[in-house]
Amino acid sequence: MKNPLETLIIPGGILLLGFLSALLLPAPQFGLELSKQIQAQLHLQDLNQLYTIVFCLWFLILGTIEYFVIRFIWRRWSKA
């Protein structure tokens, strides 16, 4: 039987793992020329906006990947 709170646990787990990734894994860094080019293409005011978007996406993606890998391992080997 599925947990009725699973719809809340999944996003919470993703955010928690994303936060842990922020502490453990380095985020990507661009060179100055590439950063300026991306900033111009996305019509951003400064590089702080660019790196805020990059860091948020990076950690959410890592958290999602980690969540699904851990969930797969948990379901595969713990319920055998």
The helix-helix angle for 32-42 and 47-73 (nearest 10°) equals 90
Contact between residue 27 and residue 59 where contact means Cβ atoms under 8 Å apart: yes
In the numeric block, which tokens belong to residue 18? 């994303």
Chain-centre distance of CA 5, in angstroms? 22
What is the residue extent of each domain of the chain?
A: 29-80
**pLDDT, tens digit, 9 for 90 and up, residues 28-77:** 888 999 999 999 999 999 999 999 999 888 888 888 888 888 888 878 88
- pLDDT for 24: 76
Q: What is the reported pTM?
A: 0.67
